[in-house]
Structures are given as C-alpha cells and as structure tokens.
C-alpha cells in the first residue's frame, strides 16, 4: 500500500492549459506539502497544509492553487500553464504541522510544450 500517492506520474500539456495533480496519503498525517524540483534538481517548497488549512505559501504565482478537501488529500491546480512550470512536483506529508520526518510521493513530471 503506497503511503503517499500522486497522480498522474507524467503530464504533458500545452502552454495556456489548466491542469491538476492529485495527492493522497494513508499515513494519518496532519500536514501535507507540495515541493517543486526544477531542471537543476533544486527542491523548493511551494505550499503546506495542516488539517486542511494553508500554513505555508512560498511566494508561488497565483496560477497555482492548492486545495485540501480533507487532511488525507492535497491537490494542486495550475492555471494558464507556462514553459517555466515544467518540473517534477512532489507531494509529501508529516505528523502535526511539520513534526518529524517527511514522507514523499514518487513525483509528477510535468512538461509544458
């Protein structure tokens, strides 16, 4: 049983489109995150949610909108996709608003053409 699962694994889309990435965790964790890893392999946090509430928003463009319907799910919707959005997006979760170690999903490779 996968602890943190993301879908889709690969996503190829045209500039200007709107797309969503889904994430689910079955660990009972309270906090979930989205990280972006660009072509230079630098991992940068984007958002963090604790019990469905946004707690970290790292100056990400408004085109990115996270949504957490419940504490086990954190989805990422991206409007008007741009070439620079091409990256691998990782979802992660941890206990209690940042406590302890993070468990990461396997990533979604987004390619904007």
Nearest Cα residue to 31 out of 96, 88, 105, 75: 96
The reply to whether 34 sits near another protein by the rule CB under 8 A is no
SS3 content of the chain, % helix, strand, coil (to 5): 5, 60, 35
Classify strands 4-7 and 64-70 as parallel, antiparallel or unpaired.
unpaired
The reply to whether 61 sits near another protein by the rule CB under 8 A is no
Q: For another protein, which residue of 16, 17, 27, 44 counts as binding (CB under 8 A)?
A: 44
The reply to whether 68 sits near another protein by the rule CB under 8 A is no
Contact positions vs another protein (CB under 8 A): 4, 33, 35, 41-45, 48, 56, 88, 90, 92, 96-107
């Amino acid at each position: 049983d996968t602890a943190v699962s993301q879908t889709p694994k690969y996503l190829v889309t045209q500039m200007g489109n709107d797309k969503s990435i889904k994430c689910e965790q079955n660990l009972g964790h309270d906090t979930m995150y989205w990280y972006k890893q660009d072509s230079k392999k630098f991992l940068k946090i984007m958002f963090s949610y604790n019990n469905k509430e946004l707690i970290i928003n790292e100056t990400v463009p408004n085109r990115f909108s996270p949504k957490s319907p419940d504490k086990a799910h954190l989805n990422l919707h991206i409007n008007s996709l741009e070439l620079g959005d091409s990256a691998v997006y990782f979802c992660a979760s941890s206990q209690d608003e940042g406590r302890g170690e993070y468990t990461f999903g396997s990533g979604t490779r987004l390619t904007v053409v």
